[in-house]
Structure 1
């Protein structure tokens, strides 16, 4: 009878120790889970910033491509006129040197191209 009581007492102690171990493991796993959630939140925030920046860069690239195409069209138009021009305008210095007779084309000296493209990531945030 004494042996049974001691065996039952040891069994209860093992069970209590196992319960304490499981409780400690739960606490540790909750801590790890909170850290993972925090890291995910930070990474998601960084990802959204990069996506926003990429959207701005895509918009700027599109605008620059549009400007480039407009400039190419202007150069092609000037080349097709041929009056007062010598050769083609592959060289920007040749174009702004004034070796043409048309006053209209003088205003296309490309000084406006240096204007910055203004875009903000806030425009793309929903």
Structure 2
């Protein structure tokens, strides 16, 4: 009987040690899976960062292109406004000369008045469709 009692604690100890060993193996495997899952999440996030950075670069390039186009169109508009002002002034001067010639000669002339739209270009109607012609800046 004494040997039976001695064997039982040894068996219990052995069973307990086996459970601890299995639990330790299970914990290690669980930790390995957890690390692998975290690494996969990290890799996915790094991939998303790369994709978002590429998207951001593409958007910045589009914004830069649109900004350059805007600056170009704004520059052309400024040139056209200056030309409109110059041509309107010339037309006004020519009309003055025609009025003087009409008074001096006594002949009736049909002198068109300068349209208000030329005097106030911001009131000119704008076209709905974009203008796609090229404009030679050295034309005048």
TM-score by length of 2: 0.61
Structure 1 stretches (4+) deviating beyond 2 angstroms?
84-91
Unmatched tracts of structure 2, length 5 or more? 1-16, 103-108, 116-134
Deviation at 1:5, TM superposition (A): 1.2
Q: Residue 2 of structure 1 corresponds to which residue in structure 2?
A: 18
SS in 1 for 2:42: helix
Write the distance in 2 (CA, Å) between the matches of 1:15 and 1:45.
Answer: 45
Are 1:30 and 2:46 matched, yes or no? yes
* Per-residue CA distance 1:8-55 (angstroms, 9 max, x = gap): 111111111000000111111111111111111111111111111111
Unmatched tracts of structure 1, length 5 or more? 92-114, 119-126
Q: Residue 93 of structure 2 corresponds to which residue in structure 1?
A: 77
Q: Greater CA radius of gyration, 1 or 2?
A: 2
1:19-98 matched pairs, under 5 angstroms: 19-81=35-97, 82=99, 83-84=101-102, 85-90=109-114
Q: Residue 116 of structure 1 corresponds to which residue in structure 2?
A: 136
TM-score by length of 1: 0.68
Deviation at 1:86, TM superposition (A): 2.7
Deviation at 1:87, TM superposition (A): 2.6
Deviation at 1:71, TM superposition (A): 1.0
Write the distance in 1 (CA, Å) between the matches of 2:29 and 2:137.
Answer: 73
